[in-house]
Structure 1
Amino acid sequence: WDLWQKETDQVLWEIVSIGFCPPLHAQTHTHKHCLTTVVCMIAGKKLRLFHFLFEMLEDPGMAHCVSWVSASVGVFRFSARHKERVAELWGQRKGNRMPMTYQKMSRALRNYAHSGEIIKVKKKLTYQFSGHYLRVKLVSIFSCSMKVMNCGVLYSRLLSK
């Protein structure tokens, strides 16, 4: 446990000290998404678009860009006026040098449709997470919450440095 904690401490400090966690939108940034990203990076997982979209959908401050149509079945819709903003934020989060456009992001969504993770709904700008993905996401949220609880004190200590 001590070795894991020491390695985790070093990884977290490096991530925080290089400013790994850009805010989704500066005025309401709380480091919640940072901590999730940090935990996932420690586990060696790359952030994927559908995780990012789920995160955006859970953020009330982003409801003007993307919102749930029916959260219980995983249906969501992009705002026609602000869909480019979601793409921009996704590009920033990935660390792209060139700005991401909605057109490019929608290509990734179509690829998810081929794999069955996200389904295109017949309405304009509307998609649905697959039932399998929603079940996996719930397990992942629980698992991530446990990891966050385990290293929350460490992360708080690092942020206060």
Structure 2
Amino acid sequence: MPSSGDLARQAFDYLRENFGVEELPGRVVERGDSLWWTTAPEVPEGVRVHSLGIRLLRRGEKGFKPTSFGLMLLGDRVRKRRIDLSRAELKALLQGRSLDCDALPSGYVALCLEGEVIGCGQVKGGRLRSQLPRGRRQELLIALEAARRGGV
């Protein structure tokens, strides 16, 4: 099994190759099946920490999966595999529907609205699906409805 330093390098390579991320301030720390992005100094031995920062990637059998919050924090650093959505397209994804997506090969993508990264999606078999957590999907649906009514 690769050391934490090896995994951090693999994580950065994944982000550079797949999302065009050239800079990642701070450091990547392995914890369980997740890689966390933190700017915190080393944690002293024996100190229990609930969260080290933002979960950036999960490690699975098929490789890395970016988290929605990790992609959001990377924001403008994400230069590749971005999909700009209209509000109607975003609403469809948030409601569990999929969209045609022949523009990109299969894999994870950064979902964007009005130029801002709002989370993770996945292209598979020419279809785009949301990978946003349920709570985040609900928040975004509420915000879209408020904007439609002129509240945001």
TM-score normalised to structure 2 length: 0.25
More helix per residue: 1
- Higher relative contact order, structure no. (Cα contacts within 8 Å, ≥ 6 residues apart): 1
TM-score normalised to structure 1 length: 0.24
